[in-house]
Structure 1
Amino acid sequence: MNGNQNLRRNALPLALGAAMGLAVAAPQAAEITVAVASGFTTLDPYDASDTLSRTVSSSFYEGLFSLDDQNRPVPALATGYEVSDDGLVYTMKLREGVKFQDGTDFDANAVKINFDRLLDKANNLSRRGFLSMIDKVEVVDPMTVRFTLQMPFSAFVSRLATGTAVMICPKAIEQYGGDVAFKPCGTGPYIMKDYNPSERLYVVKNPNYWQKGLPKLDGILWKPVVENSTRAAMLRTGEAQFAYTIPAEQVKTLQGVKGIEVLVEPSIISRYLIINNQKKPFTDPRVRAAINYAINKEALVKVAFAGYAEPMTGVIPKEISGFENLGVWPYDPKKARELLAEAGFPNGFETELWSGYNNTTAAKVIQFIQQQLRQVGIKTNLRTLEAGQRVAMIESVRTVEEAQSRLYYIGWSNSTAEPDWCLRPIFDSRNAPPVLANEGYYVNKKVDELFDKALLETDLAKREENYREIQRLIWQDAGFAPLVTEMNISGRSLKLKNFRVLPSGSYDFYQAELEP
């Protein structure tokens, strides 16, 4: 079976390309500022839990494949691949003539070093589970590498294309080890010049980039701006040439500003309320169900998203294959109060409500939820977390006993658009922090069994039915509170071309250029 026919050679476009540099023929410097909604957690894509950090890291890192605008894998540092008949062995040819930013050659040994680092449990890299199906990586010859999987996995190449499995300079791995996040060195079109996780990431053109004519920008300043109105103002005044997200309430105002375009596009980004299933009173499914009944999702769309979202009708976004349509969880505060009384809380209780984002839209969301829960007797204390706090207080917690979160507003996006990575990281009991994102410590052994069964199933229809059953079980357990799938709202200067947000919330800026 030859995978080359499914790929567009020499395409290396879109999704997680890179961002910066100057058009080769441009007479003067062309740099842009991109205003983003939060700070960065890490510049090590193998350890970044958030889409934004992995995306900005693609300024200097590339993988073996990238994704086109249809979420299909296309060649990047690999030129193609072959798959064994049993689906276990992928043999990949690598692109010749590519050098790392430290001047060393990219080759099969570099690929092996990067994947061995990821797969080594001792390194505790948070994205290890994303590629845990890999059994071993072998060097066939200097420009050929062989991956052997533990089981057939049809989405393997798509997983390689999402911005996690990038190529870091082997010398940097050897020299900096766990500090590689502050010393990025890859094959990409930009080189880091300045970095402060909460304030800025400034990258400049790699003059020795292997793809001639790219990048077309001289530099990009990625600037975290958590205040919605400030991001919009930066776009309006020209201080930023791109901003995401644009506050929904300012869409109509910005659409009237000369020289600016506002884009409103569908996404596969779900927002939901994590419920800590292992902490009382949330160990009782009636309490978890009451929380679901207490929140009016249609009203939330209007209040916090100005209509630019839609209530979730299941556990995962409807655009993902294997989606099970379960309908919007009904808004029924009377039912919520009855369930709380049955669970022994006729007068409600007091708890914590945190947000994994500290932007102003997230503040609106948790304030709305606070008001909704108060109506059924649940009093909440609000707290918004910065990116570093989110890592320390949620994602790096070692045991459920140490977990201090109770109700937690967060989201998820899956750039591979397949159900496994929409569900497994969040609901497999073996993926509680710090392994992956089961931050509600949800446990259902039948769900775990279905996850294992789905991976071994080679029939696509049967495999998707396993995921549909998983969704039904999670829904029955009220394992979390699904809220909305939001629209992607971004704004750009009309002078900035080929820079946009993808449905996953990552950026396509590989071909970006700035007109005079």
Structure 2
Amino acid sequence: MTQQASSSLRWASALLGLAALAASGTALAAKDVVLSIGYQPETLDPYNTNTTITTAVTKTFYEGLFQFDKDLKVQNVLAEGYEVSKDGLVYTIKLRTGVKFHDGTDFNADAVKFTLDRVLNQDNKLLRYNQFNRVSKVEAVNPTTVRITLKEPFGPFINSLAHASAAMISPTALKKWGNKDIAFHPVGTGPFEFVEWKQTEAVKAKKFDGYWKKGYPKVDNVSWKPVLENNTRAAMLQTGEADFAFPIPYEQAELLKKSDKLEVVATPSIITRFLAFNMLQKPYDNPKVREAIGYAINKEALAKVAFGGYAFPAQGVLPQGVKYAEKMAPIPYDLKKAKELMKEAGYPDGFESVLWSAYNNTTSQKTIQFVQQQLAQIGIKLQVQALEVGQRTEQVDAWPDPKTAKVRMYYTGWSSSTGEADWGLRPLFASEAWAPKLNNMSFYKSEVVDSSLAKALVTTDEKERAALYKTAQEEIRKDLPRVPMITEQNLSAHAKRLSGVFVMPDGNINIDAIAVSN
């Protein structure tokens, strides 16, 4: 079936659904909310994903000890506060009382220990292990106090605990479902409890009547619907089939703004889109080839063509808004310089290669097609493919041996969801982070970068930390294991009857105060 035919069928389906509702004299239930998202969650285990939109879905069911607000400031959630020892190694955390998991299990220090011990057990092979691998031990001092001892000082530790992946899971549920199947049976302390997950259709949740925040949640049911095609997401908003959609197709923003029933919201993001290279393979082991590709892509035009102007050329390795981000001039579009570098690299006539996209939504498809056209100007002939979730996991994220990795050129994105430089740099550029361990699928290794990142983690001196991160960013920019292309804006839209839902700078979605008006 063609994409156009598929879109037409979805439009027809949405319109028929509306007609049926109108004929029956009903409307969408006032307390039911449909959230349409552009990506398909690959798991409901917050500790086994590196995908921001997946953790947005898991937050429906789960909460952590802390969380970020809309400005990426740390707030208490299941913790009431904490103290840190003078040497920076011991965190004593006071826990909220009277909280229960969806299955009736008490939330207490034993539950915190059980949850964190799981991710710390390397036999479980959870993707978020490296976020917590500096933890030496977790102790339940008493039911309301947990003590976490680190192997070495780790400045961003509370930020790591505030990340959406650091969710508290019911020990009873973990014992029942096991390390793998908990991915399909989420049981947390969050405002909603799990109903069902049909992977290509929806994740459904219902109000948790035993939620500890009195008066919340304010809606009865929430459904997350993955809709990969931009136009279909927009159509669902216009027909009332969805109450919220993210991301919004940039090219349709102005049209949606004209609706008196919808509100379109554009907010700053800390999401940078990259073109990454497998540096273990020719020709990407040649720094001049990587630099040539950087010059050959018109980032201003990319922002307009694929993102409708709701993006701008990346201003460095880290986007502004991330703590310790070093602002740098975007790599200019210079075709003459790109061709000279290709000649110097020994590829005056270019070469053939493959470009994969980590995502298969419409915007990403536009992006890789644009890159394909741009690089053709310097003789690089690309086959392009937007990977499905399963393909991405198998071919890139979980590929066991870097030497045989099939990835060559890779379009992907990253947001430092902890709000500071470490999680924006270490997972992508440290040699300890080579895929499948973390997300360095460039297989980049730099002694300068490794040393700077390692020292920045353990120093308690803010000026020293800033200087170390600056050194790392400058070295990465010089080596270009990834070309930073654009930083996008977060563009969402919602029905005016909906409130309390917003997109955070890292692209996560907060529904803590979700509510609807009649």
TM-score range, shorter chain: over 0.9
Q: Is the 8 A contact 1:66 1:161 kept in 2?
A: yes
Structure 1 position 335, deviation (Å): 1.6
Q: Is the 8 A contact 1:454 1:466 kept in 2?
A: yes
Residue 218 of structure 2 aligns with an amino acid whose one-letter code is: K
Corresponding residue of 2:236? 234
Show CA shifts across 1:356-386 (max 9, x none): 1111111110000000000000000010012
Corresponding residue of 1:336? 338
Structure 1 position 299, deviation (Å): 1.0
Show CA shifts across 1:413-435 (max 9, x none): 12222111100000001101111
Partner Cα distance (2:359, 2:132) in 1: 26
Correspondence for 1:424 among 402, 417, 426: 426
Please identify, of 338-347 and 230-239, the stretch whose mean Cα deviation from structure 2 is larger: 338-347
Correspondence for 1:369 among 371, 377, 382: 371
Q: Percent identity?
A: 47
Show CA shifts across 1:201-224 (max 9, x none): 011111222222111111111000
Partner Cα distance (1:76, 1:322) in 2: 26
Corresponding residue of 2:494? 492
Corresponding residue of 1:225? 227
What SS is found at the alignment partner of 1:147? strand
What SS is found at the alignment partner of 1:317? coil
Equivalenced residue count is 489
Corresponding residue of 2:128? 127
Asked whether 1:92 is paired with 2:102, we answer no
Show CA shifts across 1:480-501 (max 9, x none): 1110000111000000011111
Corresponding residue of 1:253? 255
Corresponding residue of 2:20? none
Instruction: Map 1:242-321 to 2 at 5 A.
Output: 242-321=244-323
Corresponding residue of 1:459? 461
Show CA shifts across 1:272-322 (max 9, x none): 111111111101111111111111111111111111101002111022122
Instruction: Map 1:175-254 to 2 at 5 A.
Output: 175-177=176-178, 178-254=180-256
What SS is found at the alignment partner of 1:305? coil
- Which stretches in structure 1 are left out of the alignment for 5+ residues? 1-27
Q: Is the 8 A contact 2:159 2:419 kept in 1?
A: no
Correspondence for 1:471 among 470, 473, 490: 473
Q: Is the 8 A contact 1:135 1:149 kept in 2?
A: yes
Corresponding residue of 1:59? 60
Show CA shifts across 1:218-266 (max 9, x none): 1111000111111111111111000001111111111101110000111
Asked whether 1:161 is paired with 2:156, we answer no
Partner Cα distance (2:345, 2:67) in 1: 50
Show CA shifts across 1:68-93 (max 9, x none): 22222222111111111111111111
Partner Cα distance (2:335, 2:70) in 1: 42
Please identify, of 79-88 and 240-249, the stretch whose mean Cα deviation from structure 2 is larger: 79-88
Partner Cα distance (1:505, 1:98) in 2: 28
Partner Cα distance (2:268, 2:53) in 1: 18
RMSD of the TM alignment (CA)? 1.1
Q: Is the 8 A contact 2:156 2:457 kept in 1?
A: no
Correspondence for 2:437 among 435, 438, 456: 435
Corresponding residue of 1:395? 397
Corresponding residue of 1:349? 351
- Which stretches in structure 2 are left out of the alignment for 5+ residues? 1-28
What SS is found at the alignment partner of 2:306? helix
Partner Cα distance (1:157, 1:445) in 2: 27
Asked whether 1:116 is paired with 2:111, we answer no
Partner Cα distance (2:81, 2:375) in 1: 53
Please identify, of 203-212 and 367-376, the stretch whose mean Cα deviation from structure 2 is larger: 203-212
Corresponding residue of 2:25? none
Corresponding residue of 1:4? none
Residue 309 of structure 1 aligns with an amino acid whose one-letter code is: A
Please identify, of 149-158 and 41-50, the stretch whose mean Cα deviation from structure 2 is larger: 149-158
Residue 323 of structure 2 aligns with an amino acid whose one-letter code is: S
Partner Cα distance (1:494, 1:228) in 2: 20
Q: Is the 8 A contact 2:71 2:505 kept in 1?
A: no
Asked whether 1:39 is paired with 2:59, we answer no
Structure 1 position 95, deviation (Å): 1.1
Q: Is the 8 A contact 1:270 1:412 kept in 2?
A: yes
Corresponding residue of 1:406? 408
Corresponding residue of 1:325? 327
TM-score for both structures, normalised by structure 1: 0.93
Q: Is the 8 A contact 1:309 1:486 kept in 2?
A: yes
Q: Is the 8 A contact 1:39 1:386 kept in 2?
A: no
Corresponding residue of 2:19? none
Residue 69 of structure 1 aligns with an amino acid whose one-letter code is: K
Please identify, of 238-247 and 315-324, the stretch whose mean Cα deviation from structure 2 is larger: 315-324
Asked whether 1:147 is paired with 2:117, we answer no
Q: Is the 8 A contact 2:155 2:459 kept in 1?
A: no
Partner Cα distance (1:81, 1:488) in 2: 33
Residue 139 of structure 1 aligns with an amino acid whose one-letter code is: A
Residue 205 of structure 2 aligns with an amino acid whose one-letter code is: V
Please identify, of 295-304 and 317-326, the stretch whose mean Cα deviation from structure 2 is larger: 317-326
Partner Cα distance (2:297, 2:272) in 1: 16
What SS is found at the alignment partner of 2:453? helix
TM-score for both structures, normalised by structure 2: 0.93
Corresponding residue of 1:174? 175
Please identify, of 330-339 and 499-508, the stretch whose mean Cα deviation from structure 2 is larger: 330-339
Q: Is the 8 A contact 1:290 1:340 kept in 2?
A: yes
Instruction: Map 1:77-88 to 2 at 5 A.
Output: 77-88=78-89
